[in-house]
Chains A and B, each alone.
Chain A
Amino acid sequence: MDDPKKLAEFQEKIDADIKIEPRDWMPEKYRQNLIRQISQHAHSEIIGMQPEKNWLTRAPSIRAKKILMAKIQDEAGHGLYLYCAAETLGVSREQVLNLLHEGKAKYSSVFNYPAITWADMGAIGWLVDGAAIVNQVSLQGTSYGPYSRAMVKICMEESFHQRQGYEVVVSLAKGTPEQKQMAQDALNRWWWPSVMMFGPHDAESAHSNQSLKWKIKRESNDELRQRFIDKTIHQGEILGLTFPDPDLKWNESTGHYDYGKIDWDEFWNVVKGNGPGNKQRLNHNIAAHEDGQWVREAAIAYADKINSKTKTA
């Protein structure tokens, strides 16, 4: 049990918006919550490269290939910033990766859906990155210093991701009827998974209250989800696309869009590992890790050789 006096001082710091740094005292639950959230966030960036990698060789132009490559490289970087932020809490990189490979750590469920057409690259950038940005902009204000700093850097880099995705959707929506249909089909498939990215409704969210009190999260799942919906609808409508939600309607009195019922059975089914791509995504990540074993061994051997040379010189 945490010392009540220290706990009170900790809460005072949080309430005064003073960031917590790695060597500051913190409640064990705060530490564990952050390790879980930051590593889950890091895994999402890393697993999130997979649906895009699928299109690297088939993107329709050199320009599109270069952009996609740059985006994937950013995502690898974001995963690495976040792994480092998690490590400042006393967990090792090896442990964090093991938890993912053993299926004990989660990543964003949205990456378990397949990217089957080029339009999906547009929808992922526009909607999935768009939703991620809403969440990440809010997390810039998180109470844990290293996490907050990583978020600031990530947000700066992510802003091109959403625009490039939207550009793909724009060019398809303004193309032939078949191309426009492709864009519509991608929107139909990616809309609900993107809306679900914010997690369960506030009333059902297991970690939310404590996370908000400690300012690990600054806004609730439903607040962030509403913000994403409000800013996205216009971007689709201007292209003549429709959203797959018959209950979606502007509400003059609230100043927000009302939206239909979310299929939480599907959400939990994918979270529990039964989505279309869970097995494939995780197996691919494990295989990439194991295939890299010889590289790590060679790098260690090389480093040892260099070190022994400098010592004898």
Chain B
Amino acid sequence: MSEDNQGILWEVFLQPKPGRPFKHVGSLHAYDKKMAMTSARDLYTRRGEGKGIWLVKSQDIVSSHPEDGEAFFDPSNDKVYRHPTFYSIPDGVKHI
């Protein structure tokens, strides 16, 4: 069998309708941007799931490491004053 090349791996993000955030829905293989876009439409929007598509080459994605997850996200753990429930408001005060 000759050497096989199945193309580059792309990550697909869909916007379900205008104004909504784009969400990761899966991946696909394609050789160039145009082919990736057509495949993304055919693979991920056959039933009107999206009105917008973002494509990113998987190799270009920067992600956090699960193993240093706890330490990495630690700075947000002890700052309860970032949440509205931290503050006490006198009884009877409205619209705040």
The answer on A and B forming one complex is yes
List residues of A whose CB falls within 8 A of some B CB: 21, 23-25, 70, 73-74, 77, 80-81, 84, 87, 92-94, 97-98, 101, 149-150, 153, 157, 290, 293, 296, 299-300, 302-303, 306-307
Residues of A within 8 A of B6 (CB): 92-94, 97, 296
The 7 closest A-B pairs by CB, nearest first: A303-B32, A299-B31, A93-B6, A84-B27, A303-B31, A94-B4, A24-B66
Given contacts A74-B46, A299-B32, are A98 and B1 in contact (CB under 8 A)?
Answer: yes
Known: A21-B66, A23-B65, A25-B67. A299 touches B46 (CB 8 A): no
Contact present for B5 and A296 (CB under 8 Å): yes
Report A-chain residues with C-beta under 8 Å of the C-beta of B9. 84, 87
Q: How many inter-chain contacts with C-beta < 8 Å in the A-B complex?
A: 65
Considering residues B7, B25, B27, B65, which has the most beta carbons from chain A within 10 angstroms of its beta carbon? B27
Chain A residues with CB under 8 Å of B47's CB are 157
From 14 to 55 in chain B, residues with beta carbon under 8 angstroms from any chain A beta carbon are: 25-29, 31-33, 35, 42-43, 46-47
A80 near B43 with CB under 8 A, answer yes
In the bound complex, CA of A302 to CA of B35 (Å): 11
Neighbouring B residues of A157 by C-beta, 8 Å: 46-47
The contact of B31 among A73, A293, A302, by CB within 8 Å, is A302
For A290, what are the chain B residues with a Cβ–Cβ distance below 8 Å?
Answer: 1
Q: CA A81 – CA B7 in complex, angstroms?
A: 15
Interface assignment of B2: CB less than 8 Å from any CB of chain A = yes
Chain A residues closer than 8 Å to B43, beta-carbon distance:
77, 80-81
- Name the one of B2, B29, B46 contacting A77, with C-beta atoms under 8 angstroms: B46
Range, interface on chain B: 20 to 34
Interface centre among A84, A150, A299, by most chain B C-beta atoms within 10 angstroms, is A84
Q: List 23 A-B contacts (CB under 8 A).
A: A23-B63, A73-B42, A74-B46, A77-B42, A77-B43, A87-B9, A87-B27, A93-B29, A94-B5, A94-B6, A97-B4, A97-B6, A150-B26, A290-B1, A293-B2, A296-B5, A296-B31, A299-B35, A300-B5, A300-B31, A302-B31, A303-B31, A303-B32
* Residues A80 and B28 in contact in the complex (CB < 8 Å), given A21-B66, A74-B46, A157-B47: yes
B4: contacting residue among A98, A150, A307, CB under 8 A: A98
Contacts of A21 in B (CB 8 A): 66
By a beta-carbon cutoff of 8 Å, the part of chain B in contact with chain A is 1-2, 4-7, 9, 25-29, 31-33, 35, 42-43, 46-47, 63, 65-67
- 12 new A-B contacts, CB < 8 A, other than A300-B31, A302-B31, are A70-B46, A80-B28, A84-B27, A84-B29, A87-B27, A149-B26, A153-B25, A157-B46, A296-B6, A300-B7, A303-B31, A303-B35
Which chain B residues lie closer than 8 Å to A77 at the CB level? Answer: 42-43, 46
| A290 CA / B67 CA spacing, docked (Å) | 42
Task: Tell me the complex Cα distance, A131–B2, Å.
Answer: 37
Name the residue of chain B whose CB is nearest to the CB of A160: B47
- Docked pose: A302 CA to B66 CA in angstroms: 38
User: In the complex, A148→B66 CA distance in Å?
Assistant: 19
Given A87-B9, A157-B47, decide whether A81 and B2 contact each other with a Cβ distance below 8 A: no
Closest A residue to B27 using CB positions? A84
Please indicate the chain A residues that have their CB under 8 angstroms from the CB of B46 in the complex. 70, 73-74, 77, 157
Measured between beta carbons, the chain A residues less than 8 angstroms from B29 are 80, 84, 93
- Taking CB atoms, residues of chain B closer than 8 Å to A306 are 32-33
CB distance from A127 to the nearest CB of B (A): 24
